[in-house]
Structure 1
Amino acid sequence: MNAHFQSLDKSYRDVGDMTWATEDFVEEKLEISRSLFVDQSLADGDPRPKQLEVYALVSGLSFEPNFMQNLVEARDEVDEIIGDALTYWVKPENLGVEYCVFKWPTDDWDDNNLPIVKDATANISAPAFEFTIKGIQINPDGCVVAKGFDQPSSIFKVREELKKNISFLPKRQSGWAHVPLGRILEPIGVNKFARLREKMKEMSNREIAQTRIDVMRLVHETRWYMEEKTVIKEISLDSHVGGATR
């Protein structure tokens, strides 16, 4: 187990473990998740992500079929315990892993920034790499994530390169390589919560899926969880640069 894997694994666990300090999801923390959805849709029991504007660099959208299917099957194990509690699951074709966000919904955006982003992403010299999902976790705000591990820290290297080359990059960036699967949007009760805690212990280090990533996508997202989006540009990762290892 290399240092990057160990550091990333610890970072996931430090957040995921906090979820189980209570006997059920805390409504105040779930508000973080609920705020991403149209209020009336929550009241109707059919969560609909809010409209927004985000520019980001991702992979996925979509992943290869077997990888997506393995993620869906893992998600279903969680959903089976949650039952009829209010949840939102990302559509399989919208699953992705994020390298970098160039604009968050609350950020100002100058249209002159887009050519700069295109140039910076086009000039990235990075290898195709193996991407492994090793475990599922649930965060205190109800976010359900697949714990991704990039070999050899490829996502992080791209992220660091973009930080150096783009002056207007938001300071808020992911420190993980996860795939968001969905959101639990209300408390589920003490008994279900206890069962879910045991399920997460079982799934926390499970080898769930693996794929080779050889393309990044520059995306203009206009509704959370990629429900509405435009792929602006695809950037191929070079199979001959560096080389991926397992």
Structure 2
Amino acid sequence: MQPTPLAALSDNYIWTLPGADGQLLVVDPGEAAPVFDATGDRAPAAILLTHHHGDHIGGVPALLERWPGVPVFAPEDERIPIAIHRVRGGQTLDTGDWRFDVIDVPGHTRSHIAYHGHGALFSGDTLFSLGCGRLFEGTPSQMLGSLDRLARLPPGTLVCCGHEYTRSNAAFALAVEPGNRALRERSEEVERMRAQDRPTVPTTLASELACNPFLRVDAAEVRESLAARMGAARAADRVARFAELRAWKDGFPA
């Protein structure tokens, strides 16, 4: 099963994952048209939602209008009013040919979840390639804990995130860790891919562990860069380092 990104809105990705009979699972349909194009007249087998933001759920009403019987799985959040099956971290989701572990990943939003299965991680706006989501509702401690949870998944896991942010994330990552050879190589790869209008995801968790500063708050050069900004004493605290890193990215011009 190979996950495929469908470009949507300005920079979103809707994800599909095929089953044995050719049916598609759909993740985070921010709009309906790309799903209609991908599935034709055949209904998706199921729809998975990671969080309540409109650019991730906005296409669901139109999909259900055409195919009322499609099951929709989503976190326990009243801001997702669609008729759904509620799921939460620690549960196993079984639907059709697919089985996923549901992982609580608060930080970007308070109820954000991720889905891990079939060698893929659908991370929504929690983990991006070379970045992580903004903290709209959660705390630095929550987001760091969520990323630590994802970092423990198998290194070969395909990271399927919700946006094409990799080029701008690479610019920031290089400012944080300019001596990281793997990061420089990934940045060069990203430039080639975007020049060809190709998506930069999925990538592997192994690559993210080697390159993504938000998964590398304990790496020596990342610590040094943060200590230069916040002082060595404050930089000794892991959560404080992460908070500074996220604040730095929030104000980064790229």
The TM-score bracket by the shorter chain reads: under 0.3
Q: TM-score scaled to structure 1, two decimals? A: 0.26
Which of the pair is proportionally richer in strand?
A: 1
Greater relative contact order (CA < 8 Å, ≥ 6 in sequence): 1
